[in-house]
Structure formats: C-alpha cells, structure tokens
Amino acid sequence: MRLVIASLFLAAGVSGLSLVSGCDMLPGQTCACTADFRFFILNVVDQTSQPVTGVTITVTLVRTGQVLPVIQDSGMPGVYFALDDSFVQLFSTAADSVRVLGQKGASSFTADFVFDTDTCRCHLNKVSGPETATLTP
C-alpha cells in the first residue's frame, strides 16, 4: 500500500497538478488533477495479424448515440484511438459503453469498450475493452 501511495505522489509531482472544480463534486470542493492526458489505443490488424492502415474509425457513446470526433493521427501503422481525455466531461463515475467501428473497403470490425471517470472528472478510465481488433471481410 505504501508503494502505491508513494507512486501516486511521484506521478503527481512529475506530471504536475492543477486545481479544478468538477461537476460531480459538492459545492465549494476542489480537486487536484494531474496534467496527464490519457488516451486509449486500439491495434487494428488483418486476419494474418498484420497492422492495417487507412481504416475509417467511428466512435459512438452508446448511451446518447453521439458520435465522438476522436482524432485518429497516431502516426503508427495499425494504431488507432478509441478515446482520450478530451471527452472526460461526457462521462461520470457510472460506467458508459463506447462502440468503435472500423471500416476499410468491404472489411470491418466492431469493438465495445466501457469507460468511467473519477468524481473530479480528471481523467477517463478504461473499465473493459479489447487491445486489438481484427478487420474481417
């Protein structure tokens, strides 16, 4: 437990802290958020496990049906973003489903994720979801 707490303080010190007012907090409360920016990647491969480039990715918050404009510029072949902290205000401590659809020509995949956040809405947390999706005809 001490190691976990020490690690948290070290991470906070290295990345910096900022005080913010969160939507889920009681009036007058403040939170200390790290300056980290979290993003969650999805590796897209073909049926021979090779990375696939040029896939069109659509990310949808299932609860609302809202398509989230997640920027897809990882710079690495076959690596796409499922979600990032720029959408944290859309989430709460109650888990929300996100569906990622990928398409290239006649091939496609669907990947389902679950995300939540802390009461301060500092960062998103991936509760579940795949690391890799296979593009299939």
Domain contains 78: yes
Domain contains 3: no
DSSP letters spanning 58-110:
EEEETTTTEEE------SSTTEEEEEEGGGGGG--SS-EEEEEEEEETTEEEE
Domain contains 30: no
* Domain hosting residue 130, numbered range: 37-134
* Spatial separation of the C-alpha atoms in residues 68 and 88, rounded to whole Å: 11
Per-residue pLDDT of 92-131, as tens digits, reads 899 999 999 999 999 999 999 999 999 899 999 999 999 9
Rounded (5°) CA angle 57-101-45: 75
Domain contains 32: no
Domain contains 4: no
The total number of structural domains that make up the chain? 1
pTM exceeding 0.85: no
Helix (H) or strand (E) holding 2: helix 2-15
- pLDDT-based confidence at residue 16 (cuts at 50, 70, 90): very low
**Coil, helix or strand at residue 29:** coil
Residue from 120, 90, 126 nearest 17 by CA: 120
Domain contains 89: yes
